[in-house]
Amino acid sequence: MFFFILIKTDKAGNFSQRLIERVKSLYNFDDTDQASEAVRNMEERIYVWGKTVDMIKDHPLTGVGPGNWRVNFPLYGSPPQLPGVNDEIDRQMVRPHHMYLHIAGETGLPGILLFYAVGLVLFIAGFRLLSPTKYPGALLPASLLLSGLLALALDMSFSFPLERMEHAVLLTLICGIVFSTLEGKGATGPRKWYYALAIPFLVFCLILGKEKWKFDYYIQKSIDYEFRGNHEATVESALSGMSKWIKLDPVCDPMELHTARGYLKMNQFDKAEEELDKALKYSPYLHRIHNTIAVSQIRQEQYQEAISTLKKSLLYCPGYNPSMINLAYSYYRVDSFESSKQLLEKIDLSRDTNLLLLYADIEKRLEMINAQKQNNGGK
């Protein structure tokens, strides 16, 4: 009924077209030149799930820490490049699309067992409402609530519903209805100490929410200024958004990465390196940080150091286009022309005239080197 109403009220036809395309993607496996979106998603998620299991094996008791899955996952390898995926996409994984593996990876086996226990308590409480003698008239509502819980439990095996506001609100409402009904049946009077316990929690949530809002607001402002080329404002906004509570944005970038980029644009290399050192403490395996460090080294003509740094970036995110270009250029500057040429051949050069000119110059230099070797051999 819900989808019927949406389709009927969709005058422009946008929702209907997106729905048709989504359904077609589920069974379109005949495209031999380019894998369908459904196949790519399936292969990528299976790969990520397997690597998350490896993470759990390495940290079975404590996990890698709450919020640290996205920080540590690059150690286990980014998903391989799949057919049909734009090679310029920044393949930074921020979640495994599997709530149970995500929790186990961050909190270890004790954490996931506790999560299962809480869910089991909720299901048992819901099943108690199905008793027609104790709770007359609750059979249908309780059945619907349990169906919603089961749907959420299944969705957690393929997605991250608790990170979505609407799903979190739904779960909160289900918990409130179930436990308030059970409590109301045998309650003798209000228990005010419940509210006293909630006050510190609410205060903490308000403080954390304020810090998160400030962090997100200023990081977006710093990104906007960076795109406009206003580097002083980029640094100023990033410094204003620094927080003791929040360190990483949704794609795992520390605020210090944005201040470092601003300082680099102003050629203040010492300050940039200081900010990048701080950024590495919060996200040590993030390829964008290592690439930015390499940019600083290249601009200071420290090409050998840049090569080493860029290899780290590509280790954590193979195929990351900016790092491949920077590494090719660094090889070129240290006269390692063959290595530079091999990297450039993996990149689409048609979009950048400077890369085309660089490739042509490398070929010319290699021809000269080969001709000189032949002449020396003839002598």
Q: Are residues 154 and 54 in the same domain?
A: yes
Give the CA dihedral 123, 125, 130, 136, nearest 10 degrees: -150
Q: What is the C-alpha separation between 52 and 64, in angstroms, rounded?
A: 11
Q: pLDDT band at 231, cuts 50/70/90?
A: very high
| Tens digits of residue pLDDT in 351-369 | 889 999 999 999 999 999 8
Q: pLDDT band at 35, cuts 50/70/90?
A: very low
Question: What percentage of the chain exceeds 70 in pLDDT?
Answer: 82
Check: CB of residue 169 under 8 Å from CB of residue 110: no
pTM for this structure? 0.77
The one-letter amino acid at 232: E
Q: Are residues 48 and 150 in the same domain?
A: yes
Q: Are residues 13 and 64 in the same domain?
A: no
Q: Are residues 316 and 350 in the same domain?
A: yes
pLDDT at 116 over 80: yes
74 burial (CB, 10 Å; 0-12 / 13-18 / 19+) is buried
| Tens digits of residue pLDDT in 314-344 | 998 888 899 999 999 999 999 999 999 999 9
Most confident of 3-12, 187-196, 294-303: 294-303
Q: pLDDT band at 14, cuts 50/70/90?
A: low
Nearest residue to 71 (alpha-carbon basis) of 104, 48, 94, 45: 94
Residue found by looking up tokens 């920080």 in the block? 71
| Tens digits of residue pLDDT in 69-88 | 988 888 887 765 544 444 44
Domain enclosing residue 98, as ranges: 43-182
Q: Are residues 49 and 160 in the same domain?
A: yes
pLDDT at 114 over 90: yes
Last residue of a domain, one of 182, 204, 220: 182
Tell me the three-class secondary structure of 173-240, residue by residue: HHHHHHHHHHHHHHCCCCCCHHHHHHHHHHHHHHHHHHHHHHHHHHHHHHHHHHHHCCHHHHHHHHHH
Q: Are residues 12 and 142 in the same domain?
A: no
Check: CB of residue 229 under 8 Å from CB of residue 198: no
Q: Are residues 152 and 69 in the same domain?
A: yes
Number of domains in the chain: 3
Last residue of a domain, one of 182, 201, 218: 182
Q: Are residues 26 and 141 in the same domain?
A: no
Q: Are residues 108 and 157 in the same domain?
A: yes
Nearest residue to 150 (alpha-carbon basis) of 131, 173, 171: 171
Q: pLDDT band at 5, cuts 50/70/90?
A: very low
Q: Are residues 168 and 70 in the same domain?
A: yes
Tell me the three-class secondary structure of 287-341, residue by residue: HHHHHHHHHHHHHCCCHHHHHHHHHHHHHHCCCCHHHHHHHHHHHHHCCCHHHHH
Q: Is residue 87 part of a domain?
A: yes
Q: Are residues 9 and 69 in the same domain?
A: no
Q: Is residue 204 part of a domain?
A: no
**DSSP summary character for residue 245:** S
Which residues, in sequence order, are CB contacts of 152 under 8 Å at separation 6+? 161, 167, 170, 171
Q: Are residues 22 and 109 in the same domain?
A: no
Q: Is residue 108 part of a domain?
A: yes
Q: Is residue 260 part of a domain?
A: no
Mean per-residue pLDDT over the chain, rounded: 83
Least confident of 13-27, 33-47, 118-132, 363-377: 13-27
Q: pLDDT band at 257, cuts 50/70/90?
A: very high
pLDDT at 266 over 70: yes
pLDDT for res 53: 92
Check: CB of residue 160 under 8 Å from CB of residue 97: yes
Q: HSE of 14 in the Cβ direction (CA atoms, 13 Å)? A: 1
Buried b (16+ CB within 10 A) or exposed e, 97-131: bbbebbbbbbbbeebbeebeeeeeebeebbebbee
Q: Is residue 132 part of a domain?
A: yes
pLDDT at 207 over 60: yes
CA angle at 345 for the pair 343 and 350, rounded to the nearest 5°: 120
